[in-house]
Each structure stands twice: as structure tokens, then as C-alpha cells.
Structure 1
Amino acid sequence: MTTRKNFKRQVRARAARTGESYTSALRHIRPAPTADAVPDAMTPGSIRLAVAQTPVRHDPRDAEALRDSGREVRSLMREASAQGARIVHFPEGALCFPDKHLMSADGPDAVGPADWDRCRWPVLRSELAAIAALARELRLWTVVPSAHRLTGPNRPHNSLYVVSDRGAVVTRYDERLLSRTKLSYLYTPGISPVTFDVDGVRFGCLLGMEIHYPELFAQYETLDADCVLLSTTGAAPGNTAAQVQGHAAVNGYWVGLSVPAQHSATAPSGIAAPNGDWLARCPADGTPSVAVVDLDDSSEAAAVSVTHARPWRRESRAGVHTGHRVTDPRSQDRTAAF
């Protein structure tokens, strides 16, 4: 373990010094494996990601609906594994996205503070445990959203559980910038970004309305994320896809977008490359499905953004331009004649 930590420290030191991503720095320090030693999808700097779209249900009081959602998540986990995925990512509300009217303590005709005692928490925990068990069986990292219960009377977090290929929850991301309704009636906001590493590839997590906050995506660039996983139930026509592509291109990393199957007609789930191009998308016909892509720094879609643009932007932000500035009256005079 100590040797592994020292090795990763060397890789991160090089990445910080050169402005490279973790996976790019990794190639310069770790000898390239032979083709016989490691499968293509498992080589350093490459990982196979699946993003899913599933039907989202809205009543956490309905135990059978929660079980149906759990079964559908596990079915798509098996499909992702069959396609060689190392990690699979699910949409906000994959198990349930509670309706504000159904949860309102003031009754269905008036939106008020949510009564979370109505949630079938034992059933929800049972489905999450079954998902974790399958992740261990398939050796598949699984990122699945769910409400995370806090000690009463505090409202739960709206969260992304990161379940390792050993079936353990290794971290959890809690949505930080909530919509007005979520903040007022449903959830407690989170406080920090979260990253996790799988096979040398670093992932960041975002949820829900956070697609609209470019500063959160920029924060993950500074944290050396190679890919940001965004789970949301919001899918405005044209707007969602364009924002995802913009965040990917501006920050020079992959973005996995996972949305409910109900919204696939306007914004199907998919993976955007560091240059903003869509690499793969789920069908836009409402069917539960997964889109699978190899994230690889050496790919044509990533080469310019990851190798050149991202390091240069870091240098610019760090002040590389200050050494080229001059003291010149014509520079300082904003009203100087042509």
C-alpha cells in the first residue's frame, strides 16, 4: 500500500509540475504494459465507461416501484458489464425522484416541507444493498443516485453513491447548489466536491441543477478530474446537451451525462469528449439503455484538448502572461487615438 501511495504521489507531482492530467503523467512514469499483459480497456490512461438512462419514478411511498427501479438498475449493470464496462453511471432519481406534492406535509394540493417519514427507507436500503452486491459480483464500479438519510429532523441529502468493484461505498457526493424547491422543502445541501480514482482515471461528481454552474465544472479541472459524471432529471431541449459539450470542451475532460429515459427525446444520456464532441449516446426513444465508451487520453477526440489546450489554460491562469506585459503610455491610455 505504501509503495502504491508513493507511486501515485510521483504521478501527481509530475501532473502539477507540467499541467498534464493524471493519466498523461502516468504514461511517463509507468512502463507501458505488453499487449498480452493488460487488456486494452484496462491499460493506464484508459477505462471503459457506461452511462445509463432508466425510467424514473416519483413516489418513495411505493415499495414495489422502488423494487422495480432497483431491478432495472441491476439489469443495466449487467448490460454494461457484458459490454466490458469498468464503471457505470446512473441518472438522478434512478431509484426514485420524490415528487414535491407527494412528499408535502401540507397535502398534495400545496407544496410544503417534505415529510420524509413517508419514504420506504428499509426498501430503499435493501435495493441499494442489492446493487452493491451485484457491483461486487460483476467487479463493476457503480455510481448510483439516491436520497441519503440524515439524523432527524434534518432533511436528507440528494446524493450520488460511489460503489466500488468490491461492493463497498467508497465515497458519496451530495448536491451542493440546489434548486429553490429542493432547498426549501426537500433536501439538505452538500458542502464539498468529491473525486475518486479508478485504474488511474480520476472522476468528479455533479447532480441535478449543477449543470448550470460552470464554476463547479472548473473546480473539478483544478482537482485533476479526467471525467465528470453528471446525473440530472432536467433535460431542456437543446440546452442540456449544449451545456454538457461546452463544459467538456472548456475544461478539457470527458463529461458523462445520465438522464431519465423519459427525457431521452430531448437529451439522451451520453459521453462528451474533451473536445466537446459526443462519443456515444443512448437511443432517443425512451428505452432503458447504456452508452459505452473507452476514455483514452491518446484518442483523436482527446489529444489536442488534453495534451495541449488544458495545460496551456493552466499556465495562463497561473500568470504566464505577466512576464510579457509592458509599461507603455499607449497601453495605459484607454482613450488613445487610433
Structure 2
Amino acid sequence: MTQNGNLKRRVRARAAKTGESYTAALRHIRRASLDHPDTKSVRVAVAQTSLFNDPRDISGLRASGMEMRSLMRDAHKADARLIHFPEGAMCSPNKRVMSENGPREIGPSDWTRFEWAVLREELSATSKLAKELKLWAVFGSVHQLTPPHRPHNSLYVVSDRGELVTRYDERMLSNTKISFMYSPGKTPVTFDVDGVRFGCALGMEAHYPEIFTEYEQLEADCILFSTTGETPSVAPAFAAEVLGHAASNTYWVSYSAHAPQSLTVPSGIAAPDGRWTAQCPRDGTPSIAVANIKTDPGNPARPWRRTARSDVYEPHRVDSDPRSDGRNIF
């Protein structure tokens, strides 16, 4: 059923894009599948959501949950298999709101201020809808630990059965996060949907290329990078890094941030050639953009780059002094 549903979605998407009949589009996709039998494809929706940063506000938490579920329904209508949300999609706690010395002074976070029971209810409703829509959902959330341990800043991965299948905890925390707010994570996380492998990154981890290189070594086809976008001025740097990671590792990167950031750079999906395939509107509103994430087993770039990082060059090196290599050039 899943494979047949994916095929129908691909056919309808091609027919809508090219103007072909359903039959002609089906014929083309089947012919392409024969030429590249190992190619896998997943339709992904990337979201930008309203920024909500006060976890004491019950009505705000409820509104964030409702907005997320509305975007999930939009993704379902767009035939997406997976929807990717920003860091702290339901709530991204503000460091000054949480500071026990605040709001003027940033200090250790007082996590008793968080309405944890309301958060759990909204997460439960979101998981229930994922099952109903048969839609994978990946979204940022604070993950509570047993006191006195600080929580993790996490990405939850909920399957199309409404089950939490894995969780990624941000590893490379900012100075404020590690000093006053969160416990760091330890390991990379990957998961597969319809044969396509996804990796997770979070917060400011776009600044660390080793995070993205590690996922290339783990055979990831697409990285889901979620950030807050609280400060729109930093968006261009993050976007440039996302495009660079996609191109240098020859895989897809989905970039999800909050809607206020879209005025400079909206959420979007970067292709392995380092260009945006789809982007949300640049108007500061909650929305989604959709793209088909496809693997390309015939692309020689990734295998060669792995070879290039080995000792393939060693037999060809010449031990010479560049100042006197036997030729008088000047």
C-alpha cells in the first residue's frame, strides 16, 4: 500500500508539473524506474511556524499545537510523506523568560515555569494526527529529564503510525544553552522512510561541518536541520551553510526555521547541487514548501570524495622542494 501510494503521488505530481495525462506521466516514471531501479523517493514538506517562546502561557502552547497540526493537514493535502518543523516548534523557551535571575539578567533556567502537562497533551494530539494522516512528523521540542538534570533540546521523530521512533538531542550547544539551559546530546540519529535515510541536526549545528560530514559517512540521503530563527539577521549565514553542506556532501538538506526569519531567508529544501528546490513564502507567515527527495545511486561524487579522503593520492606524491624542482620557470 505504501509503495503504491507513493507511486500515485509521484505520478500526480509529474502530471501537474508537465501537463501530461496521468497515463503519460505513469509511463514516464515507470520507464525512469527501469533505468534506475535503485532510486528511492520521498515527498517532504518543510514548515516555518510562528515563534512562541513563553512556556508559562498555556493558551500559547495550545495555539502552537493547533498551528502545527494545521500545517500537517496542508502537507497531507500536498501528498507529503514527511513534514519537517523548526527547533522548538511548539515552544522555544526564551532564555530571559526562563532565567531565575531574569528577565534583565540571564542565569540558570527555572524549568518549573514550563507547563509540561500541556506540552505532553499537545504532543499526544500531534502524534495522533500523524497516525490519522499516515504522515511522518519531525519537530523540535524540549525533552524533560528527571530533575536536577536539565532537559535536552530535541527533535522528535514520529512515524506514520503515530509512534515516537527516535529522538535527536542537540550536541553542539551555544554558550547560553550549555551554561544555563540544556544538557547536550551524545550521538547522531538516522532513520529511514521508504528506503530514504534521514539524519537530524539542530540549533546552531549548521556552523559545524563535522556534524554534516558524519551523516554523509552514515549514508544519509537528507539532513533535517531545524533552528529557531529568533533573530532574522543571522539567517543568511545559516542558509549559506546549508547550501554548502548539501553541495559538499552531495545530499539533500531540509532547513526549517520560524516564520519571522522568512523575511530574510524562508524555510526551504536544498538539493545536492547546492541550490534551493523549494522555499516557503518570504512574508513572515506559517506555511510549508514541498519537494521530492530522490536518491541518485549513479552519482559518482560521493564515492569519489570518500576515495579522495583515503590514501589514493599517496603513490602519486612527489617529494620535492617547490623552490627548486629542477625547472627554472622564472
Report the Cα distance in structure 1 between the residues aligned to 2:203 and 2:81, rounded to whole angstroms: 24
Q: Deviations over 1:142-165 (max 9, x none)?
A: 001100000100110000000000
Partner of 1:320: 312
SS of the counterpart of 1:206?
Answer: strand
Does residue 1:296 correspond to 2:291, yes or no? Answer: no
RMSD between aligned alpha carbons? 1.8
Q: Give the partner amino acid of 1:238.
A: P
Report the Cα distance in structure 2 between the residues aligned to 1:35 and 1:313, rounded to whole angstroms: 31
Q: Give the partner amino acid of 2:295.
A: D
Q: Give the partner amino acid of 1:318.
A: S
- Overall identity of the aligned pairs, in %: 58
Partner of 1:259: 257
Q: 1:64 aligns with which of 47, 59, 68?
A: 59
Structure 1: which 5+ residue stretches go unaligned? 1-33
Report the Cα distance in structure 2 between the residues aligned to 1:63 and 1:213, rounded to whole angstroms: 35
Q: 1:137 aligns with which of 129, 132, 135?
A: 132
Q: Give the partner amino acid of 2:314.
A: T
Partner of 2:11: none
Q: What's the CA shift for 1:168?
A: 0.5
Does residue 1:54 correspond to 2:49, yes or no? Answer: yes
Report the Cα distance in structure 2 between the residues aligned to 1:113 and 1:320, rounded to whole angstroms: 50
Q: What's the CA shift for 1:97?
A: 0.8
Q: Deviations over 1:243-275 (max 9, x none)?
A: 111010000000000010011011100000001
Q: Deviations over 1:309-329 (max 9, x none)?
A: 111101111222223335xxx
Report the Cα distance in structure 1 between the residues aligned to 2:312 and 2:79, rounded to whole angstroms: 42
Report the Cα distance in structure 1 between the residues aligned to 2:249 and 2:235, rounded to whole angstroms: 23
Partner of 1:170: 165
Report the Cα distance in structure 2 between the residues aligned to 1:121 and 1:91, rounded to whole angstroms: 19
Report the Cα distance in structure 2 between the residues aligned to 1:316 and 1:109, rounded to whole angstroms: 51
Partner of 1:275: 273
Report the Cα distance in structure 2 between the residues aligned to 1:144 and 1:237, rounded to whole angstroms: 19
Report the Cα distance in structure 2 between the residues aligned to 1:289 and 1:147, rounded to whole angstroms: 22
Preserved CA contact (<8 Å) 2:39 2:295:
no
Q: 1:128 aligns with which of 82, 107, 123?
A: 123
Partner of 1:307: 299
Partner of 1:286: 284
User: What TM-score, normalized to structure 2?
Assistant: 0.84
Report the Cα distance in structure 2 between the residues aligned to 1:238 and 1:207, rounded to whole angstroms: 17
Partner of 1:332: 320
Preserved CA contact (<8 Å) 2:196 2:295:
no
Q: How many residues align?
A: 290
Partner of 1:249: 247
Report the Cα distance in structure 2 between the residues aligned to 1:167 and 1:237, rounded to whole angstroms: 32
Preserved CA contact (<8 Å) 1:90 1:259:
yes
User: What TM-score, normalized to structure 1?
Assistant: 0.82
Preserved CA contact (<8 Å) 1:55 1:260:
yes
Structure 2: which 5+ residue stretches go unaligned? 1-28
Report the Cα distance in structure 1 between the residues aligned to 2:309 and 2:30, rounded to whole angstroms: 39
Report the Cα distance in structure 2 between the residues aligned to 1:49 and 1:118, rounded to whole angstroms: 35
Does residue 1:189 correspond to 2:177, yes or no? Answer: no
Preserved CA contact (<8 Å) 2:235 2:261:
no
Report the Cα distance in structure 2 between the residues aligned to 1:70 and 1:192, rounded to whole angstroms: 28
Q: What's the CA shift for 1:240?
A: 2.0
Preserved CA contact (<8 Å) 1:259 1:267:
no
Structure 1 stretches of 4+ moved >3 Å = none
Q: What's the CA shift for 1:44?
A: 5.3
Report the Cα distance in structure 1 between the residues aligned to 2:126 and 2:132, rounded to whole angstroms: 10
Report the Cα distance in structure 1 between the residues aligned to 2:147 and 2:207, rounded to whole angstroms: 31
Preserved CA contact (<8 Å) 1:44 1:200:
no
Q: What's the CA shift for 1:237?
A: 4.6
Q: What's the CA shift for 1:336?
A: 1.5
Q: What's the CA shift for 1:233?
A: 1.4
Report the Cα distance in structure 2 between the residues aligned to 1:52 and 1:292, rounded to whole angstroms: 9
Does residue 1:209 correspond to 2:197, yes or no? Answer: no
Report the Cα distance in structure 2 between the residues aligned to 1:118 and 1:285, rounded to whole angstroms: 32
Q: Rate the CA distance shift 1:276–1:324 in 2: closer, same or farther, 3 A.
A: same
Q: What's the CA shift for 1:296?
A: 1.6
Report the Cα distance in structure 1 between the residues aligned to 2:255 and 2:162, rounded to whole angstroms: 23
Q: Deviations over 1:3-41 (max 9, x none)?
A: xxxxxxxxxxxxxxxxxxxxxxxxxxxxxxx959x9xxx
1:18-33 mapped onto 2 (5 Å cutoff): none
